[in-house]
Structure 1
Amino acid sequence: MHGLCTSNKWTEATSLLDSMMNGGVHPDVVTFNSLIDALCKEKRIEDSIAMLEVMRQRNVKPNIVTYNCLINGLCTSNKWKEATNLLDRMMNEGVHPDVVTFSSLIGALCKKKRTEETISMMELMSQRNVIPNIVTYNCLIHALCSSNKWAEATRLLNRMMNEGVHPDAVTFNSLIDTLCKEGRTEEAISLLEVMSQRNVKPNAVTYECLICGLCKSGECEEATRLLSKMVAEHIVPFIRTFNILLDAIIKQGTNDKAREVLKVMDQHSVQPNGFTCRTMIKMYCAVGEMNKAKDVFDTMITQGFEPDLAAYKVLINGYAKSKRNEEIMRLAEEMIQK
C-alpha cells in the first residue's frame, strides 16, 4: 500500500484497499493514512474525506497524521473553512493538534488575508500549549505586516525571539517590506544591522525591498550603495531590482550613475528585459545618443520584446530633438503597420 501511494498510484492503492477488506484483512490507521496522503497530494480532497468516513465505518480511529494530511490538503486547495471545521472535529474527538496542524491553517488564512482569524488561531495554539515554529511565526508576521499592523508584528518578533525561535530572512523581509512601503526607510535599513547581530544573512528579496523603498523616497544614492553592498556579498540582484533603480536614477537625470548600474548588470550576466530596454532608450534619448538608443530598440525586437507605444514615443521625441525627420517618418510607418 505504502509503495503504491508513494509512487502516485492511488488508483491501484484504492483497489488494493477494496481487495483487503473484501478478503477479510482489516486495514489499520497506517493503511488509511498512506492512501489519504496520496489522495490529498493528487488534490482529490473529496475522495480523501470520503476515506475518513470509511475509517469510521471500519472502526479505525484517525490519528494526528490522518488529520494533518486532510487539513493540509484542504488548506492547499483553498478550503480553509472546511479545514477549520475539521480542526474542531478532531479536537472534539480527543485528537490534539500539533504545530504542523496549526501551521497549515495559519498559512492558508494568511494567504487569504484573514488576519483576525489568523490571530485567533495563534491564540488557540497558545491555549493548547502548542509552541509555534519559524514557519508559523513567519506566516503570522507576514499577515500582520500585510494588514499594516506593524506594532503587532514587532511584538510578535520579540515574542518569538524570547521563546527561542530564531527569525530568518523571511521574517525580516516581511518587516522590511512593510517599513519601506510606509516610507520608513531608516528603520528598514536599521533592521539590516539587527539581522547581522543575529547572524541572519539578507537575501536578494531583502535588498530589493530596501532598494525599492529608497528609490520611492528619492534616495537613489543610498539605493546605489546598497546595490554595491549586495553584490559585494555575492548576492545577485533580480532584473526587477535593477529596473527599479535604473528608472529612479534616470528620472533624477543622473545618467552617469545609470551607466554604472548597467555595468554591474553586465558584470553579473543579468539579462535585460523589455522594461530595462525602454529605460535605456529613455536614458540615451535624454542625452542625444540616438544611435545607442536605436541599437537598444533593435535589440528589443531581436530578443522578442515587442516595443510598445511608449518606447516608440520616446525614440520619436529623441529623433525630433536631433531633427532627424527621416527616422521619425520611418518609425511612424512602423507604428501604423503594427
Structure 2
Amino acid sequence: MTSIGVTPWFLSYGAVIESLVHFGNVEYVVSVLGLILKSRFSVNVYLVNLVLNGICRKNKFDDAVGLVRDVSRFGVVPDEVTCNTLVSWLCKSGKCDEALVLKAEMEELGCVSKLNTYNMLIYGFCQNGEVGKAKEVFDDMTSKGVKPSIEMYNHLAHGYSKVGILPDVVTYTCLIIGLCRNGNAKKGLSILNVMPERGHEPNGARYMHLILDLCKEGFCELGVVNIAKGIFIRIKNHGPPPNVCDYNALMLALCTESSLEQATMLFGEMGDENCKPDVTSFNIIIDSSFKVGNMEYTNKLLTMMREKGVELDKYTFSILINRYCKLGELDEANSMLKLMVSRGFKPDKYIYDSLLKGLCEKGETYEIFKLLREMAKKGIVLDSRLTSTILTCICHTSEDVDVMELLPNFPQETSGEASIACSDLLAKLETPHTGRQLSTY
C-alpha cells in the first residue's frame, strides 16, 4: 500500500489489527501498533485493549504489561477494560501477585478499580490457597467504598474451606439470619437441618439468642418463629436448659404472630422447668392478653406477680395504662398512674399520649387541659406524635371553650418528620367562633 504511494490512515490500521487478533496472528500486532505511532496517529485505549487481549491469549503476559507501560508514555490512559484484561489473564495463569502489583500501577495512571477487578483477584488468590491475601484485597476494596457481591463471599468461603477453615456454629447462624432477613426462611431452615450432620448441633446460648433476636426484630412473618421453636426444642433436648431470656424471646415472637395460646403454654412451662418468670415474662403475656381482651387472665397475672414477689416496672405500668385507656377504663388508668408515681416511676410522653387519647374518646375536655397543664409543669417535650394527639384533642373540644386560655406552653422537640395531623384543626379554626382563634406565627 505504501509502496504505491497510498498512505494508510487510522481506520486502515485498526482494521488490520482487528483481523490479526481475530485470526491469532498476534506476532505482527505490536509491529502494526508501532507503525500507527510512527505515523503520528493518536492511539486510543480501545485499540490497545484489542492488542492486549490478543497478546494475553498467547500467554505473553510480560509483553502485554510492557505494552501498557509503553503506550502510557504516549498519553494513552488505561481504562477498566485494560486493567481487567491483564488482571484476568494473570490470575488465570496463577500470577496473582503480579496482577495485584499491576492493579496498583493502573490506579496510579488514573484507572479506578471496580468490583470485577477485585473479584478476579480474590478468586485467583483463593484458587491458589492464599486466602489471607484474598482477605487483604477484600478489606482494601471495602475501605474504598466498593460493595462486595455474593460471588465474592462465595469465593472467600470456598478459599477458607480449601485451607481447612470450615464454618462453625456462628457462621451457620449468620447465614441463617441473613437468609431469614431477606425473605428466604425456608432455605434458612434447610441449613439448620443439615447442621447436625456436619457436627454442629445448635446447643450454644449465643446461637439461640441470635436466632430468637430475629423474632424480636419483627421477622415473624417470614417463618422465623418456626425456626426459633425448632431450635428451642433442640436445645431443651440436647443442650443446657433454656434460661429466662430464651423463654422471653420465644414468647415475644409467638405473641407477635398472635400465637398467645402457645406463648401462654410456654409461660406456664417456665415454673415447671425451674426457670422462674421475671417481670419481662409477665409484661409479654399481660400485653398480649390485653390485646385480645382477656381481662380475667390479665388480672390473674397481676395477682400472680404479687404472690411471686415480682415488682411491676415502668413498662408494666405503660402497658396497663395504655390498654385501660383504649378500653375506656379511665378510672383504672388513673389508678395505675398514681400507683406508678408512688413507686418512683416518672410517666413519659407515651403514657401521656395514651391518657390524652383516652380522655379525648370520652370527651373529657377539662380533664384534657388539666393533664396538659400537668405535662407542661413537668417539662414534657412534645414530639410530632404527642403534638398530633394534642391537636386532635383540641379539635374535639366543645365550641365554648377558650383554647388559648387553657392551652399551656410546652417545650418543643425538633423533628424532621412531617407527622403532625393538623388539617382537622385548621378546618375548625377557619370557622369563626368566639373565644376560639389561634394566631399563626
**TM-score normalised to structure 1 length:** 0.69
Residue 95 of structure 1 pairs with residue 164 of structure 2: no
Root-mean-square deviation over aligned CA pairs: 4.4
Contact 1:207 1:227 in 2 (8 A): yes
2:426 to 303, 312, 333: 312
User: Aligned partners of 1:194, 1:45: CA distance in 2, in Å?
Assistant: 53
Give CA-to-partner distance per residue, 1:222-280, whole Å, 9 cap, x none.
11111222222232333232122112213323334334433442354322332243145
Amino acid at match of 1:103: H
Q: Please give the per-residue CA displacement for 1:96-134, whole angstroms capped at 9, x wherever unaligned.
A: 212322332344356223344543443333343453233
The equivalent residue for 2:220 is: 112
Q: How far apart in 1 are the matches of 2:371 and 2:408?
A: 16
2:363 corresponds to 1:253: yes
Larger displacement relative to structure 2 (245-254 or 218-227) = 245-254
Partner of 1:9 in structure 2?
none
Distance in 2 between the 1:102 and 1:77 partners?
A: 20
Alpha-carbon separation, structure 2, partners of 1:200 and 1:283: 40
1:212 to 297, 322, 330: 322
How many angstroms apart in 2 are the aligned matches of 1:291 and 1:75?
Answer: 53
Match of 2:394 in 1: 281
The alpha-carbon deviation at position 308 of structure 1 amounts to: 1.6
Kindly report which structure 2 residues correspond to 1:150-299, keeping only aligned pairs within 5 A, or say none: 150-272=260-382, 273-282=386-395, 285=398, 288-292=401-405
Asked if structure 2 preserves the Cα contact closer than 8 Å seen for 1:169 and 1:200, the reply is yes
User: Quick one: structure 1 residues 53 and 170, their matched pair in 2 at CA, closer, same or farther if it must change by over 3 Å?
Assistant: farther
1:122 maps onto 2:232 in alignment: yes
Say if 2:251 and 2:266, in contact at 8 Å, map to a contact too: yes
State the alpha-carbon separation in 2 of the partners of residues 236 and 79 from structure 1. 43
Q: Distance in 1 between matches of 2:335 and 2:190?
A: 51
Give the Cα separation in 2 of the matches to 1:118 and 1:66: 17
Q: Which runs of 5+ in 2 are unaligned?
A: 1-121
Match of 1:54 in 2: 159
Structure 1 residue runs of 5 or longer lacking an equivalent are 1-16
Q: Which letter maps to 2:207?
A: T
Runs of 4+ in 1 over 6 A off after TM superposition: 20-27, 296-305
Structure whose alpha-carbon radius of gyration is higher: 2
> Distance between the aligned counterparts of 2:202 and 2:414, measured in 1?
57
Residue aligned with 2:195, SS: helix
Partner of 1:85: 190
Distance apart, 1:169 and its partner CA: 3.5
Separation in 2, partners of 1:235, 1:163 = 33
User: Which deviates more, 124-133 or 152-161?
Assistant: 124-133
Q: Do 1:141 and 1:153's aligned partners in 2 also have CA atoms closer than 8 Å?
A: yes
Higher relative contact order (CA 8 A, sep 6+): 1
Structure 2 distance, partners of 1:77, 1:237, is 38
Structure-2 change in CA distance of 1:73 and 1:305 (3 Å): closer
Cα separation, partners in 2 of 1:219 and 1:197, compared to 1, 3 Å = same
Report the residue type matching 2:365 in the other structure. Answer: N
Question: Which residue identity lines up with residue 281 of structure 1 in the other structure?
Answer: I
Q: Contact 1:161–1:167 (CA<8 Å) still a contact in 2?
A: yes
For 1:298 and 1:100, the matched residues in 2 are separated by 45
Deviates more, 1:183-192 or 1:69-78: 69-78
% identity of equivalent residues: 23
Rounded to whole Å, the distance in 2 between the matches of 1:48 and 1:232 is: 56
1:78–1:167 distance in 2 versus 1, CA, 3 Å: farther
